Structure 1
C-alpha cells in the first residue's frame, strides 16, 4: 500500500511538520509506504509526479487549500484538518486505506468541486475560518518583520527617532557611523513592511474566496481601510467583500470576445471600485468610530486599573486553541492596535501592554508543558517527552502550537490547565504594566519590552503555574467508569 500526503497549517510553522511526522510514524507502524509533502511557511518541495502516480490514496491534512492540487487528479483522497492528523494519525491512515474504493477522486466527478479556494461542501463556519486564516497566515511574516524592525529602531535611537523630522534628517545625513542613521533605516524599512499588514490580510482573504481575481480588490480594500482609519476590522470586511464581489463577477456568463479581458481588466476594475468605494463612502466612518471607541475603552480600562482583566481574557483566548481561530482573533486584536501607534512615544501605552500580554500568554503553554515533562517524566509517554524538548524552543519563540501534541493526546486535562496558566500570565503583564512594540519573536524581543526583568518574571510564573496545573490534572486518574463529563467537572 502506497500513500502520499500533504500537510499544511494556518501559520505553516509547527502543525505542518508535526502532522507530517505523525502520519509517517503511523504508516510505518501499519506497514505502508508513505511520502509527505509539507506546505509550510518555509516553502515546500513538491512530491515527484512519479510518486504521486504510484500512490493508492492521498491524505490531505490541511487547514489551507492544497497548492497545485491538480497534480493529484484521479486519486482517491481523504480530506481532514491538520489537528486530526496530529491527534489520531493511526486512525486517519487506517480510514484512508479502508475507504479507497468509496473515496471521492481529486478533481473527479465523485469528489467535491471547488467553487472557491475552499471545498464547496464544507460547513459555512469552516469555510469562513479557512478564508480568514488564509489572510492571517500571509500577514504574520509582514507583521513580524516590520514590527521587530520598528522595535529595533526605538532600541537604537530612542522613541524620539519617530518624532518630527528626526528619521528623515538622519537618513538624509547618511552618516553610516551614526547609530541614529541605522535606527532611522530600521524605522523606515519596518514602517514600510508594517504598512502591508492590512492590504495583505484583506488581499489574501479575498484570494481564498475568489482565487486570483480576488487579489486586487482585496489589496485595494485593505489599503483603503488603512487610509480611512478602519484598521484590521475594516481589512477583514474588505477581504470578504472584495472576494465575494470578484467571485460573483468571475461567474458571470459573458461573450467569448469579452472573456480574455475579464480577469485582467474588468474584474479588478469593478471589484476594486465597489470594494474601495463602499469602504470610503459607507463603511469607513462607522468602523473607524468603532475602532476609536475600542482604543478609548482600553485607555479607560488602563486608567481604572482593569487592564489585568483584559490580560486574563486575552490569555485564555491565546491558549484555548493554540494557534487556531480564537488564538488568532486575540493576536489580530493586539497587532491591529499596535499598527495604529507607531509614533506613540509612551512605552506603556495600553496598545503596547496588550501586545505584551498576547505574546507572554502565547509562550507559556508550550513552555509549561515542557517543564511538566521534566518534573514528572513518568506521567508522559516517550513521544510526549520528545515533544517536550521541542516545546522549549517553540515556546521561547512564541509558537503556541508547540502545545498541540499534548492537548491532542489528553485535551480534558491539558487545555483547561494551559488556559488558566496563560490567563494568569496575561493578567500579570497587566498588573506589571509592561509594554511591547514587537508583534513577534518571543525571547528574541525581550530586550525591547519596557520592563524586561518583570516580563521574564511574568512568563516564568505563568510557565510554572501551567506545569503544576497539568501535573495535578494528570494525577486525576480516569477509570473505565469515569465519563469525560465527570472528568471535566473534576478538573474544573
Structure 2
C-alpha cells in the first residue's frame, strides 16, 4: 500500500517535521510506503503528481488549511491534528490503511466534485472536510498567525538591535526612547556610516516598517485560510483600515474573518459565462474590499479601537503581584500542552501584543513576550537535565531524546519535551505546569523584556535584564526536573525496567 501525507503546524518549525518523520518511520515499520509533504515555515516542495495519482490514500496531519487540497480529491483519507501524528503515528497509519480498505472499490479515480471522505471510524474527518466550527476557526486563525510570526521576528529583532545601539550612542537607557523621536527623513538625507545614532534610527525605522504589516498580514491570511486567494485583497485592505482607525490586532481579527467569508460567498456566485473571467481579478476584490472597508471605518472600527485602548491601558497598568500572577498564568499555559492549542493561545497573545502601536522599551507587552519565551524553554531543558542526572529513570530512547532536548530548549522549541509527555503524560505535564509557571512569574518579577518573538538564548543580547531572564529559566528548569525525578521515583515504571533489562541482556551477550 502507498500513502501520501501532508503535515503542517501553526509556526511551521517543529511539529511539522516531527510529524513527517514519525509517519515515515511508522509506515516503514508497518510495511506501508509513506511519502510526506511538509508545509512548514521554510515553504514546501509539492509531492510529485504521479506519486499522488498512484497513492492509495491520504493522511492530513495539519493544524492549518492544507494547500492545494484538490490534488487529493477522490482518495480515501484520514484527517488528524499534527500532534496526533507526533504522539501516535502508528495509530494514524493504521487508521489510513483502514480508510483505504473500507473505501468503495474503484478502478478509476473518483471525480473531484465528489471526493471520498472515508475515515477509520466511518465518521466525517476533521478540518474543512467535516470538522466542527471550533476546529475550523482555530485553523483559520493559526493560518494568519503562522504568516505573522516572520514579520514579528524580523521587525522585533531590528527594533531590539536599534535599542541596543541607541543606548550606546546616546549614553544610557534613555537612548532607546531618544531613537524613536528622531525623524528618519533627517537621517536618510545625511546618513553617516560611522554614526551609531544614524544606524539606530535606520534600524528602528526598518523594524517599525516590518511591524506596520502585522495587522494587515494577520487579517489577510486569515481571509486566505477561509477563501484562498480571493480573500487576500479584502483581508489586507481590512487590516490596513483597522490600523487606520486604531483598532489594532482585534480589528485585524474581525476584518480577516469578515473578508474571508465575504470573498468566499461572492466567489461562489453563479454568474454568466462572460463575467466569470473577471470575477477573481475585479468583482471579488472590488466588492469585498468595499464592504469590509465600510464596515470597519463606519460601523465597528471605533468600538474596537476603544476596546484596544482599554486592553493596552489595562496591561500597562499592571504592576507588582498582578504582573507576576499574569506571568505565572501564561507560563502554565506554555507548559501545559507543549506546542498545542493552549500553548499557542498564550504565544499568540504575546506575539499580537507586539503589534500594539507606540510601545517603548520595557513596555508590559515586551515583558509578556519574555515570560512566554522563558516558560516555553523550561520543559525540554528540564527533561534534558533529568535524563542527565537520573538516567536510570528513563528508557534508552528517552535518554537519547534528552540529549537533543538541550538544543531544542535553548532555542525555545517546547516540542522537544513531547516524546517524554507522550510516554508519561500526567507526571511530565504536571511537572511542566509547575516549573513553567515559576519561570513566567519570575520573568515578570525581574522585569525582563524582549521584542523578538522567538530565538531563546540566541537572542539573549536583545533581552532586557538578561541575567534575570536566565535565572528565571534556570529556576523553572530545576523545579520541573526535580518534580519529574520525584514523581518517577515514587512509582515503579515497567517500561523503564524492561528497557534496562534489555540493555543488560545486550551487554551480557556482547
2:281 to 264, 288, 292: 264
Q: Indicate yes or no: 2:452 matched with 1:443.
A: no
Identify the residue that residue 286 of structure 1 maps to in structure 2.
Answer: 303
Identify the residue that residue 23 of structure 2 maps to in structure 1.
Answer: 23
- Residue pairs, 1:324-473, within 5 angstroms: 324-340=340-356, 342=358, 344=360, 347-473=361-487
- Residue pairs, 1:65-464, within 5 angstroms: 65-103=65-103, 107=112, 109-112=114-117, 119-158=128-167, 159-165=176-182, 167-302=184-319, 304-340=320-356, 342=358, 344=360, 347-464=361-478
Is 445-454 or 164-173 further displaced after alignment?
164-173
Segments of 5+ residues of structure 1 without an aligned counterpart are 481-492
**CA deviation map 1:88-144 (0-9, x unaligned):** 11121122223313248794625249xxx9524111111111111111111111111
Identify the residue that residue 487 of structure 1 maps to in structure 2.
Answer: none
Q: Quick one: structure 1 residues 338 and 99, their matched pair in 2 at CA, closer, same or farther if it must change by over 3 Å?
A: closer
CA contact (8 A) 1:70 1:106 kept: no
CA contact (8 A) 1:8 1:40 kept: yes
Q: Displacement of 1:343 after TM fit?
A: 5.2
**CA deviation map 1:243-288 (0-9, x unaligned):** 1111121222222222222221121112112112211122122222
Q: Displacement of 1:291 after TM fit?
A: 1.7
CA contact (8 A) 1:373 1:379 kept: yes
Is 227-236 or 467-476 further displaced after alignment?
467-476
Cα RMSD (Å): 2.4
TM-score calculated relative to the size of structure 1: 0.90
Q: Displacement of 1:360 after TM fit?
A: 1.0
Identify the residue that residue 46 of structure 2 maps to in structure 1.
Answer: 46
Q: Displacement of 1:161 after TM fit?
A: 4.9
**CA deviation map 1:389-426 (0-9, x unaligned):** 33222222222222223223322222222122111111
- Matched pairs, number: 474
CA contact (8 A) 2:182 2:201 kept: no
Q: Quick one: structure 1 residues 394 and 39, their matched pair in 2 at CA, closer, same or farther if it must change by over 3 Å?
A: same
Tell me the distance in 2 between the aligned counterparts of 1:398 and 1:131.
24
CA contact (8 A) 1:353 1:436 kept: yes
CA contact (8 A) 1:161 1:167 kept: no
CA contact (8 A) 1:77 1:106 kept: no
Q: Displacement of 1:478 after TM fit?
A: 7.3
Identify the residue that residue 123 of structure 2 maps to in structure 1.
Answer: none
Identify the residue that residue 484 of structure 1 maps to in structure 2.
Answer: none
Q: Displacement of 1:55 after TM fit?
A: 2.8
- State the SS of the aligned residue for 1:5: strand
CA contact (8 A) 1:133 1:325 kept: no
Tell me the distance in 2 between the aligned counterparts of 1:479 and 1:187.
54
Q: Displacement of 1:234 after TM fit?
A: 1.3
- State the SS of the aligned residue for 2:79: strand
Is 468-477 or 2-11 further displaced after alignment?
468-477
**CA deviation map 1:163-190 (0-9, x unaligned):** 3225443332222222233222221221
CA contact (8 A) 1:75 1:106 kept: no
Q: For the pair shown, which has the larger CA radius of gyration, 1 or 2?
A: 2
CA contact (8 A) 1:163 1:343 kept: no
- State the SS of the aligned residue for 2:43: coil
Q: Quick one: structure 1 residues 381 and 58, their matched pair in 2 at CA, closer, same or farther if it must change by over 3 Å?
A: farther
Segments of 5+ residues of structure 2 without an aligned counterpart are 105-109, 119-125, 168-175, 495-510
CA contact (8 A) 2:435 2:477 kept: yes
Q: Indicate yes or no: 2:29 matched with 1:14.
A: no
Tell me the distance in 2 between the aligned counterparts of 1:92 and 1:37.
16
CA contact (8 A) 1:148 1:440 kept: no
